[in-house]
Amino acid sequence: MDEKFGKLLKERLQKEEILLAPGAHDVLTAKIIEQTGHEAVYLTGYGNVASMLGYPDAGLATFSEMVERCRNMVNAVNIPVIADADTGYGNAINVVRTTREYEKAGIAVMQLEDQVAPKKCGHMLGREVISMEEMTGKIKAACDTRHSQDNMLIMARTDARTNHGLEEALARGKAYEEAGADILFIESLESEEEMRKATHSFNVPVLANMLEHGRSPLLSTKQLQEIGYDLVIFCVASTYATAKAMFDLMEELKTKGTTKDFLEAGRMIPFEKFNKLIGLPEIRRIESEYKTGRNIDQNV
């Protein structure tokens, strides 16, 4: 890969305007995010576990499964991919391998969190955190392992706020910054006042996580920028919207025995538009250029 997405993202985060990176639970969603003009995409662990396994975000996805999802998403889009790496899939030794593989996959930002394994979604109760010292070791291992910031940035997340309070979360954030983290993610802040305090406590970019019906206030990108955030993810909005649309479709199909009304109401993407979205015209171009078949009809 020629693009240095880590470098591009670091430069983008220096701008005054907040960077919005919608969450994607699969590659198709990532392609839609890119084609609607977004500058980056967030590979959500929560959404990918749901999409890939049909399970909740409870540490059930394996390292190899998530690396494959990373690789597929990077190959499908030409915008930076920010990827959830959970706890690094083990201790600092495991983090070394995770860092190597995420960097080789082309990830622009790798996110590591300080939860005890098996981890949980950052807005669920019952989360536990490892010691600050162990987490700083993981961050240092990641920073020392990657080839350079041009390839991949390291984002450190703390889940300490819910059980240990804001001051502990901020203290961890400062320690993680000093350990080399390029971006900080203070999870599950519970008010705008706490958010403002977090954004003014560090010298590196800070990320906001907007999860519908989560523990944090659901704010707009404009509001988050005013508070001082540099980057925002709407981590599972696409997952929830997809699930709702699928329920609506399947209930209507069960009731009416046809998708005709759904289609005519504009609630389904047309065949031709979908084929364009997933790159069929490029496949047809390659077929024509390299003569992979006889009598290829470019209109089919």
The burial class, CB within 10 Å (0-12 / 13-18 / 19+), for 261 is: exposed
pLDDT at 70: 97
Does 279 lie in the same domain as 142? no
Assess if residue 275 is contained within a domain.
Answer: yes
- Peptide bond before 217: cis, by omega within 30 degrees of 0? no
Tens digit of pLDDT for each residue in 14-48? 999 999 999 999 999 999 999 999 999 999 999 99
Both 219 and 73 in a single domain? Answer: yes
| In a shared domain, residues 142 and 67 | yes
Name the residue among 6, 159, 182 with its Cα closest to residue 86.
159
Span 215-245, pLDDT tens digits: 889 999 999 999 999 999 999 999 999 999 9
Residue 285 is part of which domain span? 258-290
Residue 28 included in any domain = yes
Task: Say whether both 233 and 267 belong to one domain.
Answer: no
Whether residue 193 sits in one domain with residue 73:
yes
Helix (H, G, I), strand (E, B) or coil at 277: helix
Cβ neighbours for 101, distance < 8 A, ≥ 6 positions apart: 63, 67
pTM: 0.92
For residue range 183-197, what is the model confidence (pLDDT) as tens digits? 999 999 999 999 999
For the chain, the domain total comes to 2
Could you tell me if 46 and 189 lie in one domain?
A: yes
Q: Are residues 219 and 286 in the same domain?
A: no
Q: In 10 A of CB 253, how many CB atoms?
A: 12
- The pLDDT value recorded for residue 1 is 46
Question: Number of helices and strands (H, E) in the chain?
Answer: 14, 8
CB count within 10 Å of CB 247 equals 10
Q: Helices marked H in the chain — which ranges?
A: 5-12, 27-35, 45-53, 63-76, 92-105, 132-145, 161-164, 166-178, 192-199, 221-227, 237-256, 260-264, 271-277, 280-290
- Please indicate, yes or no, whether residues 74 and 214 belong to a single structural domain of this protein: yes
80-119 tens-digit pLDDT: 999 999 999 999 999 999 999 999 999 999 999 999 887 7
Q: What is the radius of gyration, based on Cα positions, of the chain?
A: 21
The answer to whether residues 175 and 273 belong to one domain is no
**Residue 156 and residue 193 in one domain:** yes
User: β-strands 206-209, 183-186: how paired?
Assistant: parallel
Which amino acid appears at position 132 of this protein?
M
83 SS3 class: strand
Separation between Cα atoms, residue 300 and residue 295, nearest integer Å:
11
Asked whether residue 298 is assigned to any structural domain, the reply reads no
Residue 253 covered by a domain:
no
Confidence of residue 300 (pLDDT cuts 50, 70, 90): low
Would 68 be classed as within a structural domain?
yes
Q: Are residues 82 and 131 in the same domain?
A: yes
- Phi-psi bin for 257: left (phi > 0), alpha (psi -120 to 50), beta? left
Are both 269 and 227 inside the same structural domain? no
Q: What is the mean pLDDT of the chain?
A: 92
Percent of the chain with pLDDT over 70: 95
Residue 59 has pLDDT above 60, yes or no: yes
